[in-house]
Amino acid sequence: MLRLVACTLGLSALLLFAVQPMIGRALLPLLGGAPAVWTAVLLFFQAALLAGYAYAHASARWLPWRAQAGAHLLLVAAGLAALPFSTAGAAPPAGDGLAPALWVAGWLTVAVGLPVVALSASAPLLQAWAARAGARDPYPLYAASNAGSLAALVAYPLVVEPLAGVTRQARGWAAGYAVLLALVAACAVVVGRAGAGRLGPAPDAERDAAPVTVRRLARWLALSAVPVALLLGVTGHLTADLSAVPLLWVTPLAVYLVTFIIAFSRPDRAARAAALGGRVLLVLAAPLVVTLAAGITPPLLLAVALDLAVLFAAGLVCHGALAQDRPAVAHLSGFYLVIAAGGALAGALCAVVVPLVSSRLVEYPLALAAACALRPAPAVAPGRARVLAGDAGWALATAAVALAVDAAAQALAPGLEPRARLLAAFGPAAVLAHAAHRRPVRHGVALAALLGAALLVDGEHGRAVHGERSFFGVHRVTVSPDGRHRWLLHGGTVHGAQALDPARAGEPLTYYHRLGPCGDVVAAWRAGAAPRRAGVVGLGVGALAAYAAPDEDWTFFEVDPAVARIARDPRLFTFLRDCRAEWRVVPGDARLRLRALPPGGLGVLFMDAFSGDAVPAHLLTREALAEQAATLAPGGLLAVHVSNRYLDLPPVIARAAAAVGLVGRVRLDDVGARLVADAGGRASSEWVVLARREEDLGPLRAHVRWRALVADGRAPWTDDHAPVLGALAR
């Protein structure tokens, strides 16, 4: 009986965690490739998990055995009727604020709501069945369930996604769900025979054993919410600079699940797991907080390792404490219900509440501080009031040290490099926070105060003058440390700049400099016979509008309403205001908007869409390039911005271009570590230019800096299959 239940739980968990990246991958192209798609997907799954656990809790406590089995079989069968899912015909709104996230939740509810709730309910309900049928300790079955989840998360990016497109994945998932229905039916039969005469609602005496207090419930809620908040923060931190792809979604989720497996596998491991996590967290928290407060991005491997290690340690702390405090079997389904409620609460806070009240990405550092506060600690002797006063005083002192050192550095060493100044300010403050490590709550509150102080100082990119947060990311406008430029940043990536000197305010800077690839493309376009109509996908600060001439027509496509507002505001940037051509900004995802254009109408199309440092993968597929080329008139040029610190994208473009009959050139404009702080305002960039014929490339064919774009023979990315892992820079 236990083997069958374990197998059924394993398959149920495998299906539940395989469909999350699968459905997120399917929705990503519909929402501009935004990393927040995964946050919205996770929020839906947390809510579905809560609904499934609530149903399982009610069923296990109040329904007789036959009614339990019949209801669950009916629910699983009803879920099968909705499969396989498909995004065909899905049309997200071109709105701002919560509109995209709410659309994701609504679409998922209709498409996979029933099967996901049925899968979510299977874990606690089948464990309750096993307990009523005679299993002494069903909690290790939870670890078996998480093992199935982990197998799905490992297999999806490494096996499933590279080998099959989304359509085949959806069909295979539906077939697996049908197998699950048969296994659940078998469990109902076998468990019924094993527990004949004992199955039914819990007896009153057992139900009242070890009553669960409100304080205990609140602790369970906090211990389950903090790791989920940290999971979402780590995932957002990673995908902002790489790419919103399943590999970077499932890796943090797999780490999160491993901590569950360790904590719940055996009762004697829970305390050791929590203690180990506390020690690791104590070592890593201060360095990570300093990098977050100072806005410093470590090298890729170090950043990934630090994020995942902190998530692992915090998961051990919280899940170890949960496993230690697990209640009697009579409260099993209620215990899991509270855990699900904590996850849903964290998801709602990170995906809905925080974006509404803060223009900064504060949920990650605050979750880190909360995890530090939940570390195991010896009992504190002084009274509560005295302890709280000491905690508050320590937090204020930590923030005061950071602010005082920063002010002193700016006054005494005004020429000090910003990163050195920030490290000097936050380093001693982090040491002071760490000194309170014997009191975890004081330690966590001090770290939170340090992070609060970071909002009051000028960051590595200068003084912030404007900030907005949308579904598509966090945007800040800053005045550069030297006071000569205004920058637009998405996360830690500069997305455009403008000189504050009126004499140079009309010059395109950074990746759009006249001496860089953009200047070459505009010159080649004007040297040909293509129409004087230009399209730009990705508005940024509107820097490309500086190239516009009075006899031309320019159309900018921008999916993020916040970016459009920033570029249009002349108090921040004036490229659009001063544009000499006819121009317009078209809201919405570029692929949907380009399809609405008359074919063959553009002389040049600039593809400059980024999310953080990542190019949305759905704009680099064979189908996307074919749609982009269809907008070009005879002799037209397609310029694609492929600058990236971690992905080698020219070969990806080359394969897709060859598949649709385009030829091209690529130019890497490497100006070293200089950015807009130097007098020229030029930044390193890499662009690919494509055309239907070699002759259409004009002077770029013989340009020494533009090398031939050659496909390597591998299959191009498609809308159904785009394995980003293969594009990692070697």
Q: What is the CATH number of the domain that holds 83?
A: 1.20.1250.20
Using CA atoms, how far apart are residues 3 and 195, in angstroms rounded to an integer?
A: 15
504 in a domain, yes or no? no
Does position 675 have pLDDT exceeding 70, yes or no?
no
- Give the mean pLDDT of the chain: 84
Choose the weakest-confidence range: 84-98, 109-123, 309-323.
84-98
Q: Do residue 201 and residue 294 come from a single domain?
A: yes
pLDDT score at 686 = 92
- Residue whose entry in the numeric block shows the structure tokens 């001090």: 446
Query: Is there a single domain that holds both residue 277 and residue 425?
Result: no
pLDDT > 70? residue 63: yes
Q: Is residue 708 part of a domain?
A: yes
Cα–Cα distances (Å) from 241 to 35, 237, 245, 436, 567, in that order, read 10, 7, 12, 33, 22
- Work out the pLDDT band at 205, boundaries 50, 70, 90: very low
Per residue in 617-633, pLDDT (tens digit) is: 788 889 999 999 999 99
Residues 26 and 137 in one domain: yes
Tell me: do 217 and 296 sit in the same domain.
Answer: yes
Distance CA 37, CA 244 (A): 8
Q: What is the pLDDT of residue 359?
A: 72
> Is residue 210 very low, low, confident or very high in pLDDT (cuts 50, 70, 90)?
low
Is pLDDT at 206 greater than 50 in this prediction? Answer: no
d(C-alpha 664, C-alpha 643), whole Å: 16
pLDDT band at residue 508 under the 50/70/90 scheme:
very high
Do residues 391 and 539 share a domain?
no
| Residue where a domain stops, chosen among 411, 438, 454 | 454
Half-sphere exposure of 603 (CA within 13 A, CB side): 18
First-residue to last-residue Cα distance in the chain: 50
Q: Which of 144-153, 294-303, 488-497, 700-709 has the highest mean pLDDT?
A: 700-709
Rounded mean pLDDT, 571-575: 96
Q: Which segment of 6-20, 86-100, 552-566 scores lowest on mean pLDDT?
A: 86-100
More confident residue, 379 or 458: 458
Residue 98 domain boundaries:
2-373
Give yes or no: residues 358 and 419 share one domain: no
pLDDT band at 40 (very low <50, low <70, confident <90, very high): confident
Do 408 and 362 share a domain, yes or no?
no
pLDDT at position 679: 44
Task: Write the CA distances from 205 to 56, 127, 446, integer angstroms.
Answer: 21, 20, 45
Residue 676 pLDDT exceeds 50: no
> DSSP for 524-554?
HHHHSSS-SEEEEE--TT-GGGGG--TT-EE
- Asked whether residue 251 falls in the same domain as residue 333, the answer is yes
The answer to whether residues 354 and 388 belong to one domain is no
Residue 606 in domain:
yes
pTM of the model: 0.79
- Main-chain phi, psi angles of 489, to 5 degrees: -120, 140
Percent of the chain with pLDDT strictly greater than 70: 88
Residue 53, helix vs strand vs coil: helix
* Among the listed residues 228, 226, 230, 242, the one whose alpha carbon sits nearest the alpha carbon of residue 35: 242
Mean per-residue pLDDT for 279-305? 81
* Residue 571 neighbours by CB under 8 Å, 6+ apart: none
Structure-model confidence comparison of residues 132 and 558, the more confident one = 558
Q: Are 657 and 603 in contact (CB under 8 A)?
A: no
pLDDT in tens, 537-548: 999 999 999 999
pLDDT for the residue 315: 92
Its sign, for the CA torsion 297, 299, 302, 307, is: positive
3-class state of residue 176 by DSSP: helix
d(CA 425, CA 69): 61
Q: Are strands 602-607 and 582-587 parallel, antiparallel or unpaired?
A: unpaired
Question: How confident is the model over 381-407, as a mean pLDDT?
Answer: 79
Domains contained in the chain, number: 3
Does residue 24 fall inside a structural domain? yes
- H runs (alpha helix) in 480-601: 517-527, 561-568, 590-595
User: Average of pLDDT values for 655-673?
Assistant: 89
- Map residue 469 onto helix, strand or coil: strand
* Cβ-contact 611, 244 below 8 angstroms: yes
If you average pLDDT over residues 56-85, what whole number do you get? 86
Same domain, 102 and 241: yes
Beta bridge partners of 61: none
Query: Does residue 513 form part of some domain?
Result: yes
Of 638, 628, 616, 639, nearest in space to 685 by CA: 639
- Same domain flag for 399 and 251: no
Please indicate, yes or no, if residue 476 is contained in any of the structural domains: no
Asked if pLDDT for residue 564 goes beyond 80, the answer is yes
Residue 659 has pLDDT above 70, yes or no: yes
CATH code of the domain containing 534: 3.40.50.150
Residue 180 reports pLDDT greater than 70 = yes
pLDDT band of residue 347 (cuts 50, 70, 90) is confident
Model confidence at 202: pLDDT above 50: no
Encode pLDDT of 413-439 as tens digits.
Answer: 887 888 888 888 888 988 998 888 888
Q: What is the pLDDT of residue 692?
A: 95
SS3 (DSSP) at 570: coil
Q: Which of 107-111, 314-318, 608-612 has the lowest mean pLDDT?
A: 608-612
**Residue 496 placed within a domain:** no
Same domain, 401 and 421: yes
Is residue 207 over pLDDT 50? no
Half-sphere exposure of 371 (CA within 13 A, CB side): 38
Percent residues over pLDDT 90 in the chain: 30
Largest CA distance in the chain: 89
Q: Is residue 727 part of a domain?
A: no
